[in-house]
Copies of this chain bind each other. A is one copy, B any other.
Amino acid sequence: MAGSARHLGVVVDTSRSPYVRLRPVSLARVRLSDDFWRPRRRINREATLPAQYARLEQTGRLDNFRRAAGKIDAPFSGVYFNDSDVYKWLEAASWTLCTDRDPDLERMVEAAIDEIEAAQRPDGYLNTYFALERASERWTDLTHKHELYCAGHLIQAAVSHHRATGGDHLLRVARRFADHICDTFGPEEEGKRPGTDGHEEIEMALVELYRDTGDRRYLDQARYFLDVRGRGLLGGREYHQDHRPFREMDRMVGHAVRAVYLNAGAADLYAETGDPTLLAALERLWHDMTTRRMYVSGGIGSRYEDEAFGEDYELPNDRAYAETCAAIGSVMWNWRMLSISGDARYADILEHVLFNAVLPGLSLDGQSYFYQNPLSDGGSHRRSPWFGVACCPPNVARLLASLPGYFYGVCEDEIRVHLYAEGDAEIPLEGRTVGLRQRTRYPWDGSIEIEVAGEGEFGLALRVPAWCQDGSARIEVNGETFHGEAVSGDYARIRRPWRPGDRVRLTLPMTVRPVESHPYVAENAGRVALMRGPLLYCLEQADNPGLDLRDVVVPIDGPFSAEYRPDSLGGIVALRTPAEVARPDEGWEGRLYREARPRTGEPRRPTAGVTAVPYYAWANREPGRMLVWLRAR
């Protein structure tokens, strides 16, 4: 595997963090050969990344660097945080080069890094918006102008490039800027300027830079930026998570991407410092998000206004904002919580968000994107090939590029399998390397066979997803029933002396699950969403011609049938069920309200077979209505 020997290749480097239970496994050591992720990652490399690079050129994002370097004479293009799109693209391209050889991509990466370096000021400062005529406005509006956010993405890109390729070209650029930031911001009594970032991101970046370089001042600087939040430096608004000190927070509020990026950074800080007040706040916030403010898709941030979290149970479907970037931030945060705690509930949410809140953000051809992800739509919400504010496209690309790094973890002498897909891995475990081969058609099929190529006693822990009913997952070791615990929402931990060729088979129940939401989510009352395995389903007009999806009433107890359709939507399992068709009666003609009468008896309604498809695949055919929450009886 490319790079596995030379480079670290871990996405979040908690390999030496004192306060984590799980150690990461290099993505260079994991090969996905499945039919779900492999084609998506190939499209990401072959189609998405080159197309995005072309956009970075066409939209002037790279020219902004050339301009700042004095190479061209042109006005600044676009929005003041456009540098960050170049950085996120570089991160995506770097992780891609860690697993796949691609000379064209490599050339683009090198070219972009050259442009970036040339734009750096002698003092290390680097932001193309605050160059030339705006140089004097540097750091004058931390609340709104995203300078530290862009710096964070530069650092993340540099660390990724270094870990993925071994090259330290961009890392040197990033360190110079990071040093400048450390020299600039801090307590007044140290002769520095108090300040923190209006859009969080740099916290994670600085901790990762500390991990990559060993230089503790970056960790201290990340802590400083976190510690001064909630003291009014940003105006005290919930929008910026500046309404109170982080350690006192207990609700997910404000701009959703900012909020989860902040939490990911705080988790990184905990991993290095063990500060229990950080962990307590993170656990409160996670509980608040997952029990009050998260869509059934795993999407977060329900409001268009401020791209923000709403109140408890405020989860509108048509007008869901549920930004793709917020879902990606949730994956990043959950991954760090998983590393810290080893607790499978974080892996459950991570997988769920990945399939049902991140993936819908990308078209099947890898060429267009959703910014908002509604859970119902009349047919007008369609993906775009790019945005003026283009945070989501390269964000999806970097997650797909780094995805193999999320599959496994190591806890002392135990291998944790977090995610399932056909493929193999070589996992370093206390001085030796253990080979694992997964054979499965997951997420379409619940049978997962893992062949172990290793010898001696160690643990193998398989995640039993929380969506399995207790006792429904079965495990066999070399054909014999495993009698240890296999509790859903936890890892089934198999510890034994292994021999090469040993096989473990995990069988997860792939029944269709109608899911209801808490009665305080008003819009979903009397409705269910269909799930199967890790996947959320929806109805689309394309599969249900002649039906108004709003009239469909599905039976809570089925029957539901599942059918693999290799030629549909890139290959999916579709669901079928007989449903009632409850047309609004004639009394509704031309009316919006009417006097209610007591219901007498069961209505007689015509029935129709309806077809549901995975929610991640919606809006890849002709425009039409889509619905996740279905009326049920």
Partner of A292, one of B310, B520, B592: B592
Interface check A519, CB cutoff 8 A = yes
- Is there an interface contact between B590 and A291, defined as CB atoms closer than 8 Å? yes
Beta-carbon contact of B305 and A517 below 8 Å: no
| Interchain CB contact under 8 A, B316 and A592 | no
**Does A519 lie within 8 Å of B582, measured CB to CB?**
yes
- Top 4 A-B pairs, shortest CB-CB distance: A516-B596, A523-B523, A514-B596, A557-B598
Tell me whether A314 is interfacial, beta carbon within 8 Å. yes
Contact of A593 among B317, B515, B591, B598 (CB under 8 A): B515
Residue contact A598 to B294, C-beta cutoff 8 Å: no
Q: Are A316 and B319 in contact, with the CB atoms below 8 A?
A: yes
CA distance A290 to B594 in the complex (A): 12
Evaluate contact between A591 and B518: CB separation under 8 angstroms.
yes
For A597, the chain B residues whose CB sits under 8 A away are 556
| Contact across chains for B518 and A588 when beta carbons are under 8 A apart | yes
CB distance from A135 to the nearest CB of B (A): 28
- Does residue A631 face the partner (Cβ distance < 8 Å to B)? yes
List, sorted by A's number, 19 A–B pairs whose CB atoms are closer than 8 Å.
A287-B590, A290-B592, A291-B590, A291-B592, A296-B593, A304-B304, A469-B595, A516-B593, A516-B594, A517-B593, A518-B593, A519-B550, A519-B588, A520-B584, A521-B592, A523-B523, A525-B525, A528-B596, A556-B599
Q: Counting CB contacts under 8 A, is A526 at the interface?
A: yes
Across-interface contacts of A215 in B (CB, < 8 A):
none
A513 to chain B: which residues have CB within 8 Å?
A: 595
Known: A317-B522, A516-B595, A519-B582. 6 other contacts (CB 8 A): A469-B595, A513-B595, A517-B592, A518-B592, A523-B523, A526-B526
CA distance A528 to B597 in the complex (A): 10
| Nearest chain B CB to A74 CB, angstrom units | 26
A376 to B494, CA, bound (A): 52
Chain B CB count within 10 A is highest, among A287, A515, A520, A596, for A596
Residue A39, interface by CB 8 Å? no
A228 vs B528: C-alpha distance in the bound complex, in angstroms?
Answer: 48
When distances are taken between beta carbons in the complex, the residues of chain B under 8 Å from A168 are none
Asked whether B518 lies within 8 Å of A596 as measured between CB atoms, the reply is no
CB distance from A381 to the nearest CB of B (A): 11
What is the distance, in angstroms, from A295's C-beta to the closest C-beta of chain B? 9
Residues on B with C-beta less than 8 A from A514 are 595-596
Is A232 located at the chain interface by the 8 A CB criterion? no
- C-beta contact mask, A83-111 vs B, less than 8 Å → 1, else 0? 00000000000000000000000000000
- Number of this chain's copies in the assembly equals 2
A632 interfacial contact with B, CB 8 Å = yes
Contact of A556 among B515, B550, B593, B596 (CB under 8 A): B596
Where chain A touches its partner, the secondary structure class is loop
Interface residues of A in 521-554 (CB under 8 A from B): 521-523, 525-529, 550
B517 touches A550 (CB 8 A): no
For A599, list chain B residues within 8 Å (CB): 556
A556 with B305, Cβ < 8 A, contacts A318-B311, A591-B518, A592-B290 known:
no
Closest-CB distance, A538 to chain B (whole angstroms) = 15
Residues 343-376 of A at the B interface (beta carbon under 8 Å): 376
Query: Of all chain B residues, which has the CB nearest A376?
Result: B522
Q: Is A167 an interface residue (CB 8 A)?
A: no
Can you name the residue of chain B whose Cβ is closest to the Cβ of A311? B378
Contacts known (A318-B311, A590-B291); A515 close to B305, Cβ less than 8 A: no
Contact assessment for B318 and A556 in the assembled complex, using a CB-CB cutoff below 8 Å: no
Which residues of the other chain, B, contact A592 by a CB distance below 8 angstroms? Answer: 290-292, 294, 517-518, 521
Contact B550 A598 (CB under 8 A): no
A517 to B523, CA, bound (A): 13
Contact of A518 among B318, B516, B584 (CB under 8 A): B584
With A314-B319, A556-B596, A582-B519: A525-B526 Cβ-Cβ less than 8 Å: yes
A357 to nearest B CB, angstroms? 14
Per the 8 Å Cβ criterion, residues 582-633 of A in contact with B are 582, 584, 588, 590-599, 629, 631-632
Are B304 and A632 in contact, CB atoms less than 8 angstroms apart?
A: no
- Known contacts: A290-B592, A590-B287. The answer to whether A314 contacts B318 by CB under 8 A is yes
Q: Which of A501-520 contact B (CB under 8 A)?
A: 513-520
Interchain nearest-CB distance for A80 vs B (Å): 21
**Quick check: A595 and B515 within 8 Å, CB to CB?**
yes
- Binary flags per residue of A453-479, CB closer than 8 Å to B gives 1, else 0: 000000000000000010000000000
Q: A550 to B515, Cβ gap below 8 A?
A: no
The 8 Å CB contact of A584, one of B287, B519, B593, is: B519
